[in-house]
Amino acid sequence: MWLRSIGGLAAVFIAALLSAVVITGFAMDSASRAAIQTVVDRRLAIASEVLAGPAFPARADEVKRRMIEHGKARNTADLGMLLEDRDGRSLGGNIVLSPKPPMGFSSLDARAGIVGVSEGRALRRDIGGGLILTVVAESEPIDNYSAARRRIYLVGLGSIVAILLIGTVLFSLALVHRIAQMRRTVRAIMRGDLSERLPAVNERGEFRRLATEFNLMLDRVTGLMTAMKSVSSDIAHDLRAPLARLRAQLVRLERSAEAGPTQEAAEIALAMADELLGMFGAVLRIAEIDAGERLAAFERLDLTALAAEVAEMMEPIARDGDRSLLWSAGGAAHVDGDRQLLTQALLNLIENALHHTPVGTTVRVAVDTFEGQVSLSVADNGPGVAEDDRATALRRFGRLDASRNTPGHGLGLALVEAVARLHEGELRLSDARPGLKVEIRLPRGAAV
């Protein structure tokens, strides 16, 4: 509908404004005219009463005498007075009326031919004794006052209309300009230029907030697209190697089929297939997390209790591998989250720490609360990860072990990161001096 367009809306606004101004102008004009008329009519009534005198029927000479008298008085000298007989013959007075006004009150203008009266009122009445008395007064304080008043209205209200008109047009133009800018950005992005952003640096208010949020959305979209692109290329790249190995193994199996027992070779091939399936499983799980499908299962939970439970469960396994796992039992740290995913994320971090450190390493699980944040960390005192390598570790399929001979599909941290992101948190890798500290920072659950 045209009301939805800025131009349409502005046109409707301007039309409504114009009619309001015109109505106001007319109302003001007629109200002041009516007020003036009432005052003038009252004056005419009094003057007519005084001129006619107390006697009824009036006497012509008495009336004429009073007319002369009042024609000289300061406050009545401006009145036009005319005394006529019943046939319209003038008996006295200071004006001549060529078209006779009707009986009672009536309006006059310059056509009445009274010198100095451009607009006025007349009261013509029978005062008895065959006498008709007409009293005329100007209804304008100055000549051509009505025209002047109209000009005042036009200039005053007109300037208001003009200001609003210009304002509306400028506002509409600014809005249209902004939207055009946004559309340009969107079109650029659709063409594939994901670096395009809305300018928002030097502004305040709604436009800036909109632009900021728009840009944040673009950042997120860009992040997802980049991740997706790299996942696709990573998949293409990383699945080739295990597939090639699997194929080689099967070839070996085929060749040795007659030669001897094939059990072992088949088992190796199966393990390779399982590795591939595990990789796809992890990719699917990350996709499930990223799609936000788990948000419905969010609940208020105590991360300290969860961490203690997982750490306690993993402790014997760490011990079996000649590593120690310690955890601190702090106060409750509430977050809103998915119990399964947070458990899986923490398990992944602990497993990572146990798998990628030498025998004798100590792994510490800790939950700390800050202002508005809860930190769940797994730190080891192993050799650590060089700062440059930490980004690689975070990349999907990122394996620091270039030969890719250690078990695992390289998706562990990517999964943890996806879990953190789903919980509006973040994953941080830092130096535990010595060792590596991996930390999930989550927003603290609002107080219940």
Interface with other proteins (CB under 8 A):
277, 281, 284-285, 288, 293-294, 296-297, 313-314, 316-317, 320, 340, 343-344, 347-348, 351, 354-355, 407-408, 412
How do 324-327 and 104-109 pair as beta strands?
A: unpaired
- Minimal distance in Å, beta carbon 163 to other proteins? 59
* Nearer CB in complex with other proteins: 23/317: 317
Q: CB of 294: closest distance to other proteins in angstroms? A: 8
- Do residues 380 and 362 touch, judged by C-beta distance below 8 A? yes
Distance (Å, rounded) from C-alpha 117 to C-alpha 440? 93
Would you say 58 or 413 has its CB closer to other proteins?
Answer: 413
Output 61 or 299, the one with its CB closest to other proteins: 299
d(CA 135, CA 55): 18
Smallest gap from Cβ 254 to other proteins, in A, equals 17
Query: Which positions ≥6 away from 78 have C-beta within 8 Å?
Result: 137, 138
d(CA 147, CA 155): 12
- Give the nearer residue to other proteins in terms of CB position, either 203 or 293: 293
79 DSSP assignment = -
Minimum distance, C-beta of residue 402 to other proteins, in the bound complex (Å): 20
Dihedral, 325, 331, 332, 334 alpha carbons, nearest 10? -90
From the CB of 291, what's the least distance to other proteins, in Å?
9
- Residues 393, 404: Cα–Cα separation, whole Å: 13
- If the CB atoms of residues 210 and 276 are measured against other proteins, the closer one turns out to be 276
324 sits in the region (left: phi over 0; alpha: psi -120 to 50; else beta) called beta
Task: Residue 394: name the closest of 378, 416, 413 by CA.
Answer: 413
Nearer to other proteins, 169 or 317 (CB): 317
For residues 362 and 350, give the distance between their C-alpha atoms in angstroms, rounded to a whole number. Answer: 11
CA 133 to chain centre: 73
- Contact of 341 with 289, CB cutoff 8 Å: yes
Nearest approach in angstroms of CB 185 to other proteins is 35
CB of 406 to other proteins, least distance (A): 11
Element (H, E) at 426: strand 426-431
* Nearest approach, Cβ of residue 351 and other proteins (Å): 5
Nearest to other proteins of 328, 340 (CB atom): 340
Tell me how far, at minimum, the Cβ of 170 lies from other proteins, in Å: 52
Which amino acid belongs to residue 302? D
The tokens describing 8, both together, are 């349409």
**Nearer residue to other proteins within complex by CB, 408 or 435:** 408
- To other proteins, the closest distance from the beta carbon of 316 in angstroms equals 6
Query: How far is 411 from 22, CA to CA, in rounded Å?
Result: 72
- The smaller minimum CB distance to other proteins, of residues 83 and 314, is found at 314
Q: Is the dihedral of CA 42, 46, 51, 52 positive or negative?
A: positive
Place of tokens 């980049």: 226
Match 């009707």 to its residue by tokens.
102
The three-class DSSP label of residue 85 is strand
3-state secondary structure 336-395: EECHHHHHHHHHHHHHHHHHCCCCCCEEEEEEEEECCEEEEEEEECCCCCCHHHHHHHHC
- To the nearest whole angstrom, how small is the minimum distance from the Cβ of residue 317 to other proteins? 5
